[in-house]
Structure 1
Amino acid sequence: MLDAIWYKKSPLRWGLWPLAALFGLISGGRRWLYRTGCRHAYRSPLPVIVVGNLSVGGNGKTPVVIWLVEYLRQQGWRPAVVSRGYGGKAAHYPLCLAQTTTTAEGGDEPVLIMRRCQCPVVVSPKRAEAVRLLEQRGDVDIIITDDGLQHYALARDIELVVVDGARRFGNGCLLPMGPLREPLSRLATVSAVICNGGEAQAGEHAMQLMADVPRRVIDDAPLDHALGPQVDALAGIGHPPRFFATLRELGYELVQAQGYPDHHPFDADELRARFSERPLLMTEKDAVKCREFAAENWWYLPVRAELPEAFALTLNTLLKE
């Protein structure tokens, strides 16, 4: 229902206008309080880069975070990542992730980033607490926050907004009338806009997600044989159709293509019963939650972000300011 209202411009959206107006008043007022100093935002002595979006749902932030970690390392920085840890519930916060941290504790995206990048990752609903913990380590000199564009309690030096190039901003309205967390005018105040797929607009940096060789969920072993044209697929991400379209572009015929809500806590028995006849392909974000109970023929598709040289030059300029 909401998808139709947000992205197909259903006239039903006008019934939600009063709630959208209230949401805009509250969220805009909160930002104004931090901007004017009426509410205190924590300013870290380390540079802070926020990777976020204006709209709800999966826009491709995590691949951008991974790209940043790898690029900054190449430039001699020692990056770390902070996250709210959505989908996880730890016994205490801030929580510094370890190899043994589960997605039930740290959340799926932070665990994915930690395993892929092998960098410090700290989660906390209060991101400033996560940043302070990283400051105390002494082995970090720049911080990337995964999401958190609207988390104004943490001051930032660079703001990067990731846009879904296919869906863009839907009907352009605020929640719940549309998919926006903040009005489109907010884009004029950020450091850079990254367009994930689709056609980049003027002033945006075009990004493409490139698929790597599938890897087995239970042990990360790369695929060394053909799966056959017919497979099943699942995706518990913000926009599952994007993943299914990628698989079809790679030549797979999807017998089952089952989407789940973002950060969905999978049930082992349900998945094993549903996906028992054919090889199963999933996202890397799903794989970190399924590893403990995965079958031998379950695979995930790693993706990497490709960004233009112009973006790297822009980032370097911003880091020198």
Structure 2
Amino acid sequence: MAENRPTSGGVFCFLLKSIFNFASFFYGKGVQIHRLLYQKNIFKTESFEKTVISIGNLTWGGTGKTPMVEYIANYFITREKIPMILARGYGKDESKELANKLPAAQLGIGSDRVAVAKKILSKSSIDMILLDDGFQHWRIKRDFDIVLINALNPFGNLSILPRGILREPMSSLSRASFIILTDTNLVPRKETDFLKEKIRTFNPPVEFAEACHEPVCFYRADSPHKQIPLDQLEGKRMTVFSGIGMPRSFQMILNRIGVKSVRNFEFDDHHMFLSRELEDIRKEKSLSRSEGSITTEKDYFRCPGRITQILNPYILKIHMRLISGEEEFQTRLDSFFEEGSHG
């Protein structure tokens, strides 16, 4: 009787899984030690006189941090307050997008966010600091920790990087001051309710809001100030391309608008498009007899010149809309600027 021997493919998969498990274990330990060094005051934590609001997540990309930073900044700007947005700048697309959309805000970009903040504070008058992607940034003390979780794929396979998408263990949700579930309009109600129950096992008293990425309009890359109504592309055959954390959400939004995606190109988050890649997309667009191409604002701002020159696609403009819990969330934001509060 022949023995059941493992195939070379099975052995390779086993080894690969073992390597990822090993790497995830040490990544998690590194995160734990890094946090402990700040908790024990071995590494110094910086405090500012201004209120610091962190907008972050527990997973790698695709939760909607940039639209939420825009939402909060606009909320304060409309109340005649000036926010400073602190970002690391590794995702230059987000920085360009925020600079374009929020000219009234002070934008601080740099790997040393403490130094950047101090420099801006010495020259400018601001009312609060918005710490972009700040949940794992221990160096700056914050007053309010907002964590975004995408309901379409909340925690991946529950593993820490690089085996999974978690940047920290799920128990870290206990630090969250407020949790915003994004893309809840794209999942069944029971999945959202189950997700909340799961999160409350780590943080029973935490408050929730639910949000969606709401499409506003399209515009052409060469005419960014000329809005095109959403229904103008309804039923149109289009080639779609993106390099974002949650391309599934983008596709679902386009489907709801009524766009017929005949070709779809998905790249890694923060992908810097090469000319040859855009040329390939243009060729496929022609071969598929598409009536045009569509991408996201985030992708457009990453390399606007090249994208405009080669494809001149339609750009989908979206904003973050809170569909539940907005009043409670805004009350928490307002509380930092009531008489006698911090800041």
**TM-score, L = length of structure 1:** 0.84
1:306 equivalent among 316, 321, 343: 321
Q: Which stretch of structure 1 is more off in the superposition, 109-118 or 151-160?
A: 151-160
The answer to whether the aligner puts 1:291 opposite 2:313 as a matched pair is no
2:115 equivalent among 120, 129, 152: 129
What do residues 189-219 of structure 1 show as CA deviations (whole Å, max 9, x unaligned)? 1211110023262542111111011011123
Aligned twin of 1:102: none
Structure 1 distance, partners of 2:250, 2:170, is 26
Structure 1 distance, partners of 2:240, 2:62, is 18
Aligned twin of 2:4: none
The equivalences for 1:39-188 within 5 A come to 39-87=43-91, 107-118=92-103, 119-188=105-174
Structure 1 distance, partners of 2:328, 2:18, is 40
Which residue identity does 1:59 align to in structure 2?
A: T
Q: SS of 2:265's equivalent?
A: strand
| Contact persistence 1:44–1:131 (CA under 8 A) | no
Deviation at 1:116, TM superposition (A): 0.8
Which residue identity does 2:46 align to in structure 1?
A: Y
Q: SS of 1:263's equivalent?
A: coil
What do residues 93-132 of structure 1 show as CA deviations (whole Å, max 9, x unaligned)? xxxxxxxxxxxxxx11011011011122121011112211
Percent identical residues: 27
Aligned twin of 1:205: 209
**TM-score, L = length of structure 2:** 0.79
| Contact persistence 2:217–2:228 (CA under 8 A) | yes
**Structure 1: which 5+ runs fail to align?**
1-9, 88-106
**Structure 2: which 5+ runs fail to align?**
1-13, 185-191, 198-206
Q: SS of 2:90's equivalent?
A: coil
| Contact persistence 2:46–2:140 (CA under 8 A) | yes
2:36 equivalent among 11, 32, 39: 32
2:245 equivalent among 231, 238, 244: 238
Which residue identity does 1:223 align to in structure 2?
A: I
| Residues 318/16 of structure 1: CA separation in 2 closer, same or farther (3 Å cut) | farther
| Contact persistence 1:158–1:318 (CA under 8 A) | no
Larger CA Rg, structure 1 vs 2: 2
The answer to whether the aligner puts 1:19 opposite 2:23 as a matched pair is yes
Number of residue pairs the alignment of both structures matches: 293
| Residues 193/267 of structure 1: CA separation in 2 closer, same or farther (3 Å cut) | same
Which residue identity does 1:216 align to in structure 2?
A: R
Structure 1 distance, partners of 2:63, 2:299, is 16
Structure 2 distance, partners of 1:63, 1:269, is 30
Q: SS of 1:222's equivalent?
A: strand
Q: SS of 1:114's equivalent?
A: helix
What do residues 144-171 of structure 1 show as CA deviations (whole Å, max 9, x unaligned)? 1211321212222211111011111122
Q: SS of 1:302's equivalent?
A: strand
Which residue identity does 2:169 align to in structure 1?
A: P
